[in-house]
């Protein structure tokens, strides 16, 4: 099984996990409706029947049919709860890559993408994410749950079918730790949450892309990617697992409108999504949770990879102007459908 290695100088972790499963020669899509036998049995299958949602799971040798959203343990997990309990010391520090790794199959339709599934479907997906998040934080050895998605041929995904990953870690990822420490420092120095201040200052400004009742989509002041945008709750909130169904529906709307607007603006765009959430277990350093979207329009150069300094030839103001027009058009169409 894999191990989690820490760089001997930098605050950076790498999961080294050699796959024990041979790549499948089959061209079949394992996430497509009807191909349930190609994945691990589901731990949760959401089924829409007579206007009601049923929460089911696969029995041994008997898969749930006609599902709407399906949660399965990953075939080649990056982390595993059955990993070997081996450690090594500094400077070559490593620890077991312990954790849970699930795939959330966002639609039974392989022709859809995360930018084209409808708003209601996104609502189902986010409800399942919230459900799994709550369960994972009751498990031993879970310090943080990472939620992310890859979409498009340049996103790093191995399966194009729309899906998300949920992966737990026994330690808090360095990027989240850094964000929490910085937020905590600014709160102590200035008495304000920096993300809350950002949301207030960007509302109605040149980097705003779109607003709904409870959320704002904006181009960050210093984006690492052209057309990068964040979706933030307007009110200060640290816990995604505690948001209401109304807020989930609102988030589904702005996610679908912005991803649709992005895809309409840039043909065949690949993108990555990362949910930046506070650790749900007791921790004094919390963050204002939000969703970050990174379009993959150009590859990183040695400047980004070697030094962590990002060269962006598109201003966030110009990106917001372009995306804003496309996203408002998309939102108008979606609201008309709803």
| Catalytic site positions | 163
How many C-beta neighbours within 10 Å does residue 277 have?
Answer: 22
Give the H or E element holding residue 13: strand 13-16
SS3 content of the chain, % helix, strand, coil (to 5): 30, 25, 50
Q: Which residues contact 235 (CB under 8 A, 6 or more apart)?
A: 214
Rounded-to-integer distance, Cα 196 and Cα 209, Å: 17
Beta-ladder partners of 291: 231, 275
Q: Which residues contact 23 (CB under 8 A, 6 or more apart)?
A: none
How many C-beta neighbours within 10 Å does residue 102 have?
Answer: 26
Beta-ladder partners of 101: 167
115 within 8 A of 43, measured Cβ to Cβ:
no
Inter-CA distances, 114 with 69, 164, 244, Å: 13, 9, 22
Rounded-to-integer distance, Cα 314 and Cα 297, Å: 11
């Amino acid at each position: 099984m894999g191990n989690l290695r820490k760089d001997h100088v930098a605050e950076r972790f790498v999961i080294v996990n050699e796959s024990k499963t041979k790549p499948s020669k089959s061209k079949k899509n394992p996430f497509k409706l009807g191909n349930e036998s190609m994945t691990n049995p589901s731990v949760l299958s959401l089924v829409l029947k007579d206007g009601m949602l049923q929460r089911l799971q696969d029995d041994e040798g008997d898969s749930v049919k006609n599902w709407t959203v399906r949660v399965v343990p990953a075939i080649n997990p990056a982390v595993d709860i059955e990993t070997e309990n081996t450690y090594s010391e500094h400077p070559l520090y490593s620890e077991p890559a312990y954790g849970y790794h699930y795939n959330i199959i966002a639609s039974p339709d392989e022709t859809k993408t995360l930018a084209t599934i409808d708003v209601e479907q996104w609502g189902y997906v986010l409800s399942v994410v919230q459900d799994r998040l709550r369960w994972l934080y009751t498990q031993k050895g879970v310090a943080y749950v990472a939620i992310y998605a890859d979409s498009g041929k340049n996103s790093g995904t191995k399966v194009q079918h729309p899906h998300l990953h949920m992966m737990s870690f026994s330690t808090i990822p360095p990027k989240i730790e850094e964000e929490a420490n910085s937020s905590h420092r600014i709160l102590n120095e200035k008495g304000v949450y920096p993300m809350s201040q950002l949301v207030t200052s960007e509302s109605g400004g040149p980097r705003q892309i779109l607003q709904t009742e409870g959320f704002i989509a904006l181009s960050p002041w210093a984006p690492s990617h052209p057309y990068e945008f964040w979706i933030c709750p307007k009110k200060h909130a640290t816990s995604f697992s505690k948001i209401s169904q109304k807020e989930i529906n609102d988030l589904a709307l702005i996610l679908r409108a912005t991803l649709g607007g992005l895809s309409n603006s840039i043909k065949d765009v690949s993108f990555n999504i990362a949910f930046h959430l506070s650790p749900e277990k007791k921790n004094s350093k919390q963050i204002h949770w939000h969703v970050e979207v990174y379009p993959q329009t150009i590859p990183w150069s040695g400047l980004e990879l070697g030094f962590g300094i990002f060269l962006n030839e598109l201003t966030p103001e110009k990106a917001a102007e372009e995306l804003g027009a496309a996203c408002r058009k998309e939102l108008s169409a979606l609201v008309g459908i709803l």
